[in-house]
Amino acid sequence: MASLNRSRTKLSGAVKLRRRAMKITAMNIYQVDLPLHEGSYKWSGGKSVDVFDSTVLEVQTDEGITGYGEVCPLGPFYLPAYAAGARAGIQELGPHLIGQDPTRLGPLNDLMDRALKGHAYVKSAIDMACWDLLGKLTLQPVCELLGGRYGDDFVLYRAISQQPPAEMAASVKQYHDEGYRRFQLKVGGNPDEDIERIHAAREILEPTDKLVADANTGWTIHEAARVVRGVRDVDVYIEQPCASYEECLSIRRRTDHPFVLDEVIDGVDVLVRGCADLAMDVVNIKISKFGGLTRAALARDLCSQLGIAMTIEDSWGGDITTAAIAVLAHSTPPKLLFSSTDFNSYVTVSTAEGAPQRVNGRMSASSTPGLGIEPRMKVLGGPVITIE
């Protein structure tokens, strides 16, 4: 009985300690350029980026614990998101969040939705930083808070920037030699050339390697129909051939290739619809498209229940985004984790210490509290916006 009373006293003390809510006291917004090792990144429609414009967010609290998040749109012409808009949106939301408890992630996300309709990407860095805070407060890695890690590591894919077929095949070989076994080939251009690209890349690979032909919405229906017919005998996944869900569904019904949806996947409603329509075998869950880790994890868990395989990623980013991708990917059941990505290996600037690093085409989430990263403040420089 004495032991039971001591336990109750300890529990009561712990509860009392947490009755006082942590409060957000300030936010600092940093802008950082992320140049690419390869010089540029090219995909459908002639789109390309040489330097990514990333936004890093620092959330300070009255308990002296600080959390960090990042959002980095893939230029202003990929999705309804752009870098300056991320910073302006956080500046708009910030005053509503001062004084709020960052560890109450449900109410915090609801408040953000009331204060700013839509613009999920704006909310992503905030939600990410709050998960970092929660992990640090509870002394747990965010990977464990999101369900717990599976195994020692997880598989990565490598995106192959759009180039002439022979050059893309050479890039596939280079990264295959570095340990990657899954490749996302950027197509969505001239159908004849895309057919050649797919054949050339597949010839480089081993039978157990996986190849995805990612059109990034770049084909019209008739062009997509020609491509899937032209690679009928090739072992390849077809990803987001056309702009709309309906157009993609029409191509899905014309081919027996495994099918991936990406750009149209921006909420649980389309996941449910896609499951009912048998519209895809794999979906790409980009953290910023869902508004952060909270709702990306909800989508992940729904897909797990529905038996839909997933690529866990984001639009782009550096070390902090890579750390966030890693905690969500590593806590995803391996049989449903199709792949993930290591954006920090694509860029020449490191913005944080402790970020996960790829090893032979695989990666693991941090085992330290929070996201496991510590920003390099000399790289970030001074904040471009402060909210108090």
Could you read off the pLDDT of 288-316 as tens digits, one per residue? Answer: 999 999 999 999 999 999 999 999 999 99
pLDDT in tens, 39-91: 999 999 999 999 999 999 999 999 999 999 999 999 999 999 999 999 999 99
299 is written with which tokens?
């989508």
Cα angle vertex 247, ends 245, 253, to 5°?
Answer: 100
Q: What residues are paired with 210 via a beta bridge?
A: 182
Q: What was the pLDDT predicted at 8?
A: 44
Find the mean pLDDT for residues 225-237.
98
What's the confidence (pLDDT) of residue 18? 52
The pLDDT of residue 145 is: 98
Mean pLDDT, the chain, integer: 95
> What sign has the CA pseudo-torsion 334, 136, 84, 118?
positive
* Token pair listed for 102: 């960052």
The reply to whether 289 belongs to the active site is no
Contacts of 351 (CB under 8 A, 6+ apart): 32, 34, 54, 56, 70, 318, 319, 320, 375, 376, 379, 380
The H-assigned helical ranges of 78-220 are: 83-97, 105-115, 120-138, 142-145, 165-177, 191-204
More confident residue, 77 or 224: 224
Confidence at residue 20, expressed as pLDDT on a 0 to 100 scale: 79
Q: Catalytic one among 23, 123, 173, 286?
A: 286
The pLDDT of residue 9 is above 60: no
pTM of the model as a whole: 0.94
User: Is residue 3 scored above 90 in pLDDT?
Assistant: no
Give the number of other CB atoms < 10 A from CB of residue 333.
14
DSSP 381: -
Residue 316 near residue 47 (C-beta atoms within 8 A): no
Residue in 123, 136, 186, 289 annotated catalytic: 186
